[in-house]
Amino acid sequence: MTHVIVLADRCGGELRPLTDRYPVALLPIAAKPLLVHCIEDVGMAGLRDLTLVVSEHADLIRREIGNGARWGLRIDYLSSRGEETPLDLLRRLNLPVHQSRLVLRGDLLRAPCLKGFLDAQPAESTRAAWLEFSDARAGAVHLPPGCPDVAVARLAWQAGEAGTIPPVSGTGAAPEVYHSAIADLASYHRANLDAACGRVPGLRLPGRQVAVGLNVGRHSKVSPRSLRQGVALIGSDTRVDARAKLHGEVVISDEVLVDQDADIQDSVILPNTYIGQLVDIRNAIVCGADILRIDTGAQLHVNDTFLVADLDRHGNADYLMRPLNRLTGVVLLTASLPLWPIAAGLALLQQPRQPVVRHRLRGNRIELNEFGIRQRRTFTAFEWHCRPPVLRHLPRLLAVISGDLRLVGALPVSEADAAERIEPWQREADRAPAGLIGPSQLLLPQDALEEEIILSDALYAGRRSLRHNLSYLGLALRKLFGRSAWCG
């Protein structure tokens, strides 16, 4: 029985910043890790015993691949220092000399071809044979029993980069098979689009076709109306708002959130990424908060979580809780109705000519300005002109219902005050949504300095989570029965 050795120990410096987060072997291609495509090819060839060579992030690969049972394989692991020569690795593996071996790389993309390659090998051959591609590293080397293993030097990643593939004796086959070494960000982007659009024959794509050109994975929610033209492949557990627009060739991986009116064209969105309202993504790779433009080579890390965000860091509760925020606002407004006549009466007694105060504040809804630049929309916030904070801020429940405010968030500020926040630490506060209650509203005195408020909101933005928000709701409930809430 042939023993398969899959090399998945690339360091991946040429693919940074993606490889700061993923090992090369787990980079998604059409919403499935590169290595999984390779393992499926091995399984289709009828092979069962496999050794996986891993280096950095070995724990992530072991967690994703396991022992191979889901593919009907038996997988064990060999640790590498990273891009070790295949010859050294085989000698360390110390397989029996009477056993045939198949060696290939699992950290690049190759259309399924192993079955045809092995079927074409003469039964009594004693010479090495290899798949010959324009990039030798994308091939595979078959070593019959007793054959010297020197031919595997063709698969060394560093030798291929230097253009020093050594000559070896044996036979080579050069089939017309799609392959990509994924040697830079542009080729990674192209390989994703090629796979999603069916230009990699035999590749197994996840999900099912729900409309012409639209392939959707398990537990994902996407409207066919979002695909305006072209082809889109959507991974599992992904939500694409019905008002979002997809053009050209688009790959959206697992656990991605695409908000309303986002426009994505010829791009690859990697797992656990949030694409905000009215965001325009073209010819790019988006990985968490990083936007990597393929046409210009520009790389941008975005701190504004209203634009794009890393859901591994910030979670998707903020997106999923929006309807619940509004519903809670309706419930609180209904419960507070008996207090409104009291608040109105106090305001008329204290300021009969102006019982209601209006403020223009920056909220959470997104709009385009006259120059086509997306910004947070300003709204009119009303207050009763009276001292008790609970009564004074009752009208802000209307802003919670409209979506301009969250139930818990940073202190809402005017557009002019926001424009004065120019230091990086000050801009951190803008990452948090504006809220009815929050650390600044509950913990700081009404005469707190602007710097104290900004620092409080910046700390909240960095630590924001569902658990923290629930703690502030509990604090607000306790303060509701305190003297300060009703006496001002």
Q: Which of 447, 366, 383, 440 is nearest to 408 (CA)?
A: 440
DSSP classification of residue 107: S
The domain limits of the chain are 3-180, 206-316, 321-487
How many Cα atoms within 13 Å fall on the side-chain side of residue 131? 27
Pick the CATH number of 206-316 from 2.160.10, 3.40.50, 3.90.380, 1.10.357: 2.160.10
Domain pair 3-180 / 206-316, same fold = no
Q: Identify whether the C-beta of residue 405 lies closer than 8 Å to the C-beta of residue 395.
A: no
Positive or negative: CA dihedral 28, 33, 37, 38? positive
CATH architecture of the region 3-180: Alpha-Beta Complex (3.90)
Which segments of the chain have a pLDDT < 50?
A: 161-165, 169
Q: What is the pLDDT of residue 397?
A: 94
Helix 34-44 with 58-65: angle, nearest 10 deg: 50
Q: What is the CA radius of gyration of the chain?
A: 29
Q: What is the pLDDT of residue 77?
A: 93
Q: What is the pLDDT of residue 162?
A: 43
167: left (phi over 0), alpha (psi -120 to 50) or beta: beta
Distance CA 19, CA 45 (A): 30
Q: Which of 410, 337, 386 is nearest to 485 (CA)?
A: 386
Tokens of 388: 């008790």
Q: How many CB atoms lie within 10 A of CB 180?
A: 22
Strands 257-258 and 268-269: unpaired
Positive or negative: CA dihedral 258, 262, 264, 267? negative
Q: What is the pLDDT of residue 218?
A: 93
The CA-to-CA distance between both ends of the chain, in Å, stands at: 82
Q: Which helix (H) or strand (E) holds 263?
A: strand 263-265
Q: What is the pLDDT of residue 352?
A: 86
Burial of 209 by CB count in 10 Å (0-12 exposed, 13-18 middle, 19+ buried)?
Answer: exposed
